[in-house]
Amino acid sequence: MDLHARRADSFGAQAEAYAEHRPDYPVAAIRWALEPLGKTEQLDVLDLAAGTGKLTAGLVAEGHRVTAVEPNEQMLSELVRRVHGVRALPGHAEHIPVPDQTLDAVFVGTAFHWFDQEKALPEIARVLRPGGVLAALWIDTVPDVEWMAELENVSRSSVEDRREDPTGIITHPSFGPPEHATFPHVHRRESPEALVATTNTYSRMIVIDDEERAAINEKMLAFLRERPETSNGPFDVPLRSEVYRMVRVSE
Ligand SMILES: C[S@@+](CC[C@H](N)C(=O)[O-])C[C@H]1O[C@@H](n2cnc3c(N)ncnc32)[C@H](O)[C@@H]1O
């Protein structure tokens, strides 16, 4: 298995920690994604690559009928345990276990970069009704905050974390042009240890060996325990959610 495939499949090893330590999504981002539909209540929505249900829970809270699809067994079990009122199905973006044209929207949270886009985009187009929306969301750190930028350097592993510009990967003739918006977000962490636990749910940390991970964790903890922004009790990690939405065109 190549590194990309190993990383895409790595999250289950940290499923419980992922559910506990990763941030959720801003509700404003979910609402903006659905704006092209006009009616934004009680929609049939798919959370594709739903993981432990971080985005699923936000969609349920907005009152939508949600199907969650996730290939990793451990991640899907966490989702079922934690998010109720959802149809949860095993499956991949390249072969979505849902009939044609049955959905108003497909959401993808921090996962589109793991898909085989040439197969996933026609599959997503297949399950969406004409006029339906594909929304690809990411949660990113805010690099212009000094302590976050320094932490990113301290926590760098031997596996690089480079992501392509999403505008390129989500363009497809079944969809109109992607629109983009950014939403500020924060993630409250109780302690330096809790932020280190969040970092340990990133695939670039999961796939490295124990020795390298332990060394990085030690460096991160020392850094966070020294910084005035993070050393004392709860603190907010500044984040942003990048959202790309595109409308399924009629054929
Ligand atoms: C970073 S997690 C995001 C999970 C969740 N959407 C969230 O926002 O917390 C990436 C997820 O993508 C899933 N994944 C990886 N490759 C996939 C594929 N080809 N099709 C569907 N899901 C995939 C992984 O199992 C993992 O749960």
The number of distinct structural domains making up the chain is 1
pLDDT digit string, tens, across residues 146-203: 999 999 899 988 998 766 667 666 778 999 999 999 999 999 999 999 999 999 999 9
Instruction: Provide the CA 153 distance to its chain's centre, in angstroms.
Output: 22
Mutate-to-test residue for ligand 1 from 72, 76, 80, 199, highest number of ligand atoms within 8 A of CB: 72
The domain of 191 spans: 3-247
CATH number for 225: 3.40.50.150
For residues 125 and 249, is the Cβ–Cβ distance under 8 A? no
For the ranges 46-55, 70-79, 104-113, 138-147, the lowest mean pLDDT is seen at 138-147
188 CA distance to ligand 1 middle (Å): 23
**Is 204 touching ligand 1 by the criterion CB < 6 Å?**
no
pLDDT digit string, tens, across residues 210-242: 999 999 999 999 999 999 999 987 999 999 999
pLDDT digit string, tens, across residues 30-70: 999 999 999 778 999 999 999 999 999 999 999 999 999 99
Q: What is the pLDDT of residue 163?
A: 67
Mutate-to-test residue for ligand 1 from 114, 199, 243, highest number of ligand atoms within 8 A of CB: 114
Q: What is the pLDDT of residue 143?
A: 74
Which amino acid is present at 221?
Answer: L
For residues 192 and 230, is the Cβ–Cβ distance under 8 A? yes
